[in-house]
């Protein structure tokens, strides 16, 4: 049951759609996003022929701030406390790639609002289109943390991914001390809980936490570099649950396990990402890619 001081999101907003004006994808913006996620894949840095650049897998999130600014305009009426909002889950489908010069229109619909314990969940479905062709779709679950803390539960050291098959890849990456600042600049997500320790602590966090989508971008590197020969265009789908905050300076390790093939021929893997204390920060990870 929610604490009396914890507002409930206004359910009348379910079904509301937000749409941005066309925004041009810039080559330098793509490379900045790649640098902000510690990418080393040369496909993202084609400086001699920027028109041939491949956009980083999660680059489309640079168009989300336009959507979120419209959502913020409704925040008071919706009872949405932005400083108490964290990213809970993310699901992405790729049917195309954004190229330099593309005019991208972003549309988002509020598809659900529900209570989970002391928290309120807000579900968005977002489409990124070029000339009415959908290139990328995302399901974006946000969690507004309740004012009352949930009862403490023992953390389960999740090993369920290994049950799906043999380990195919393992990769570690260091979250730099300035990662939150660099990612905020590249993505346009300037929520202060990601860059300001004092503000993060004022809403009950231990300190500034890394953007969930930056962590997801790190995880995608284990799949692309170790399983796809560095070719991000083969990846068709990813889903993750953000199970624990990530802090600057941590080393994250992603383990990827085989889960077989779908009838359509897509290869399926499960993955999990852990912090230096062996605690999962990303769980329920699923990815699908072409052979």
CB neighbour class for 189 (10 Å; exposed up to 12, middle 13-18, buried from 19): buried
Give the distance, in angstroms, between the CA of residue 209 and the centroid of all CA atoms in the same chain. Answer: 13
Report mean pLDDT in 10-residue bins for the chain, 291 residues.
64 96 94 96 83 90 91 92 89 94 96 94 97 96 78 45 76 96 95 92 91 96 96 97 96 97 96 97 97 87
Phi, psi of 274 (to 5 degrees): -125, 155
Could you tell me if residue 6 is inside a domain?
Answer: no
Look at the chain and report how many structural domains it folds into.
Answer: 1
**Which residue's entry shows tokens 């229109």?**
105
Residue 2 lies in a domain: no
Whether residue 176 lies inside any domain: the answer is yes
What residues make up the domain containing 209? 11-289
- The answer to whether position 94 is within a domain reads yes
The reply to whether 1 falls in a domain is no
Residue 179 has a pLDDT of 97
In a domain, 5, yes or no: no
Q: Crossing angle of helices 179-187/27-36, nearest 10°? A: 160
Read off the CATH number of the domain in which 200 is found.
3.10.129.10
288 Cβ contact partners less than 8 Å away, ≥ 6 residues apart? 235, 236, 237, 238, 262, 266, 267, 268, 269
Q: Report whether 195 contacts 228 (CB < 8 A).
A: no
Among 166, 105, 136, CA closest to 236 = 136
Q: Is pTM, for the whole model, over 0.75?
A: yes
Asked if the structure places residue 30 within a domain, the reply is: yes
**Residue 3 domain flag:** no
């Amino acid at each position: 049951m929610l604490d009396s001081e914890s507002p409930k999101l206004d359910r009348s907003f379910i079904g509301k759609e937000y749409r941005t004006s066309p925004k041009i994808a810039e080559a330098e913006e793509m490379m900045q996003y790649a640098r902000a996620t510690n990418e080393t894949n040369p496909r993202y840095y084609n400086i001699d022929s920027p028109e041939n650049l491949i956009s980083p897998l999660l680059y489309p999130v640079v168009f989300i701030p336009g959507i979120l600014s419209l959502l913020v305009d409704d925040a008071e009426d919706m009872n949405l406390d932005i400083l108490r909002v964290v990213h809970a889950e993310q699901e992405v489908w790729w049917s195309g790639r954004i190229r330099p010069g593309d005019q991208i229109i972003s549309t988002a619909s509020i598809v659900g609002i529900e209570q989970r314990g002391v928290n309120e969940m807000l579900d968005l479905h977002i489409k990124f289109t070029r000339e009415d062709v959908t290139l990328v779709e995302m399901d974006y679950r946000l969690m507004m943390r309740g004012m009352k803390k949930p009862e403490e539960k023992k953390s389960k050291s999740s090993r369920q991914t290994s049950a799906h098959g043999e380990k195919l890849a393992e990769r570690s990456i260091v979250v730099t001390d300035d990662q939150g600042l660099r990612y905020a600049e590249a993505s346009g997500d300037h929520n202060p809980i990601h860059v300001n320790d004092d503000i993060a602590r004022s809403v009950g966090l231990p300190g500034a936490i890394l953007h969930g989508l930056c962590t997801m971008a790190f995880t995608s590197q284990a799949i692309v570099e170790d399983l796809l020969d560095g070719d991000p265009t083969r990846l068709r789908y990813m889903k993750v649950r953000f199970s624990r905050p990530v802090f600057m300076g941590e080393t994250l390790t992603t383990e990827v396990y085989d889960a077989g093939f779908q009838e359509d021929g897509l290869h399926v893997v499960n993955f999990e990402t852990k912090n230096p204390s062996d605690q999962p920060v990303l769980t329920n990870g699923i990815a699908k890619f072409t052979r």
